[in-house]
Amino acid sequence: MTKLNQIIAVEKGVKSGAARELAETHGLLNKPALLAGIARTYQPKDEEGEQLPPESTRVQVKSEEVLRRTAATLTRLFDVTATKDWANTEAKADITVDDTTLLSGVPVSYLLFLEKQLTDLHTFVKKLPVLDAAETWTFDDSTDTWRTDAVRTLRTKKVPRNHVKAEATDKHPAQVEVYYEDIAIGYWTTVKFSGSLPARRVNELAERIEKVQRAVKFAREEANGAEITDRKAGAAIFEYLFR
């Protein structure tokens, strides 16, 4: 019995071979000289006339032969594709993670869909914003966000002060230098909030996705190892098309 993974393995080669042969066939049919032939003989007007040898050109490409060859080429492709597509509706496997079956009897086409979606989802999760590791965060149920502890900081104000460098005399005014002094005028109490996620949570989500990815790949391999029935669809089609 043929297995689905064997058909999948040869499908690409059959497709490329069929495409190549069809391209070559189109190329031949687009050369009118290859389809044309001629046979002619020469007879002089009288016996003393010049004798010339007969001339002939053989037909090198026959359309009916091309049709038969094309049918043979495409019949193999049609059969391989039919066998794979029919098998994809029959080959199924369970998706099991940690001894828990998430889905039973999943067809190959859906397993392939899941593989693509899980790859995209893994990329999405790995790009989720993560809480700043420099802060200590706790979850605040009232705001449904993460928050830090309150931090109290001093608010200051610059107040100008005068520094007398030289006292005034009867001949010179006082020399005064202005400088600014930071004076405490209040306190800020700051609490930071964030809608990001702890790195632990992101890693847990990514690990779960990776587990399901492995389970889906295992299920696909199991389904592809199922024994299948070879389908002969091409002959029926071309017996009608080119009869």
- Show pLDDT as tens, one digit a residue, over the chain (243 residues): 678 888 888 888 998 988 998 888 888 888 888 888 889 898 888 888 888 898 888 888 888 888 888 898 899 999 999 988 888 888 899 999 999 999 999 988 899 999 999 999 999 999 999 999 999 999 999 999 999 999 999 999 999 888 877 777 777 787 878 888 999 999 999 999 999 999 999 999 999 999 999 999 999 989 888 787 888 889 889 888 887
Which residue type occupies 97? V
Residue closest to 223 by CA, chosen among 87, 99, 82, 103: 87
Q: What is the pLDDT of residue 105?
A: 92
| CB neighbours of residue 215 within 10 Å | 23
Q: What's the DSSP call for residue 144?
A: T
Which residue type occupies 11? E
Residue closest to 4 by CA, chosen among 232, 225, 229, 217: 225
Q: What's the DSSP call for residue 120?
A: H
In angstroms, the CA 36 to CA 63 distance is 11
What tokens were used for 165?
């460098």
What tokens were used for 123?
């990329």
Name the packing angle between helices 4-29 and 199-224 (round to 10°): 70
What tokens were used for 54?
């007969």
| CB neighbours of residue 33 within 10 Å | 9
Q: What is the pLDDT of residue 208?
A: 96
Q: What is the pLDDT of residue 169?
A: 78
